Amino acid sequence: MASGFFAVLDDVAALLDDVASMSKIATKKTAGILGDDLAVNAEKASGFVSQRELPVLWAITKGSLLNKIIILPIAFLLSAFLPWAVTVILILGGVYLAFEGAEKIYEFIVPHKHDHVSADTQPMSKAEILELEKSKVKSAILTDFILSIEIVIIALGTVIEEPLATQIAVVSVVALLATVGVYGIVALIVRMDEFGARLININEETNTISDKIGQFFVSALPKVIKALAVIGTIALLLVSGGIFVHNIEFLHHLLPNVPGIIVEFLTGLVVGFVALLIIKGVKSIFKK
């Protein structure tokens, strides 16, 4: 009886060890998308009234958890009954990520129209502000849903050959870490300026060390968000290129003497701009 009990404990310990090591691998695989997720949500969660930033971020975080609850069972069912579909979804998702990265580069290089706000616009009412807040939260949750699909599928792809129990444990851990980690860091980022303002107002003296540190945090926030946007764009192309190179045999052996990171970036860039041209072409046809 005792020996059976200890055998079960040994099996559980072995499973937990496998889950821990595979979770580390899966987290590394999804790091690129997590970087983009972080950049996107830091941008979407900023720009609100100071008192509303954390409530808005909490609303987005709850939406992100709900996204994972919806996506995870579907992913596990596909893994159990249609494992080939995981690779197909992974590649389709890679096309979307490559397109998104290419679109960001295109919008940066090519001038395009922006919506201009009239100078005589009246201040918004409280109801209008709340309505705008709701629309931004919905937009952030939708973006999170798309990125969550890719995070879950990429994590699942790293353990697709493992037993279903291991798949469920590893992917669930990665999904939870993605939500807690990303939105925890976003919370710190969007409150940088508030923290800086508190340091500036900590005393009535001017040009103190606290003032300089506070001014640094206040001025650093927009720069951090812009830097994250650039890093996220590069990460999108690297992650998408990696998906193609590792799942399409032809691309895997296309440039054997070129460093893998360059091959993945170029592959993501080419696929992204091809997808961008196709989508813009289809849009122009429908407009005509």
What local confidence, expressed as pLDDT, does residue 36 receive? 63
| Across 44-66, average pLDDT | 77
Report the C-alpha gap between 262 and 252 in whole angstroms.
Answer: 13
| Residue 7 domain flag | no
At 2, the pLDDT band (50, 70, 90 cuts) reads very low
Q: Report CA 125 to chain centroid distance, whole Å.
A: 33
More confident residue, 153 or 11: 153
Residue 275 or residue 15, greater confidence: 275
pTM of full prediction above 0.85: no
pLDDT at 41: 67
Residue 3 lies in a domain: no
Report the pLDDT value the prediction gives residue 32, as an integer from 0 to 100.
Answer: 61
Report the C-alpha gap between 171 and 155 in whole angstroms: 6
pLDDT band, very low/low/confident/very high, at 223 (cuts 50, 70, 90) = confident
Q: How many CB atoms lie within 10 A of CB 137?
A: 20
Cβ–Cβ < 8 Å for 252, 245: yes
Tokens 């590893």 sit on residue? 170
Q: What's the total number of domains in the chain?
A: 1
Residue 223 domain-assigned? yes
Task: Dump pLDDT digits (tens) for 138-149.
Answer: 877 887 887 788
Residue 15 has pLDDT above 60, yes or no: no
Residue 9: inside a domain = no
pLDDT for 127 equals 73
More confident residue, 40 or 244: 244
284 pLDDT above the threshold of 80 = yes
103-125 pLDDT per residue, tens: 989 988 886 654 444 444 556 66
d(CA 138, CA 46): 15
- Quick one: how far is CA 62 from the chain centroid? 15
The CA distance from 89 to 79, in Å, is 11
**pLDDT over threshold 50, residue 1:** no
What is the average pLDDT value for the chain, to the nearest integer? Answer: 76
Structure-block tokens of residue 265:
């970036």
User: Considering the domain boundaries, does residue 130 fall inside one?
Assistant: yes
Within-domain flag for 231: yes
- Is 67 in contact with 148 (CB distance < 8 Å)? yes
Q: Which positions ≥6 away from 61 have C-beta within 8 Å?
A: 179, 183
Residue 246 structure tokens? 């590792």
Structural domain includes residue 11: no
Predicted pLDDT of residue 193: 76
Instruction: Tell me whether residue 100 is in a domain.
Output: yes
Q: Is the pLDDT of residue 21 over 60?
A: no
Q: What is the pLDDT of residue 9?
A: 34
Report pLDDT digits (tens) over 169-178: 888 888 888 8
**80-101 residue pLDDT tens:** 888 788 788 878 888 888 898 8
Instruction: Tell me which residue range forms the domain holding 28.
Output: 18-287
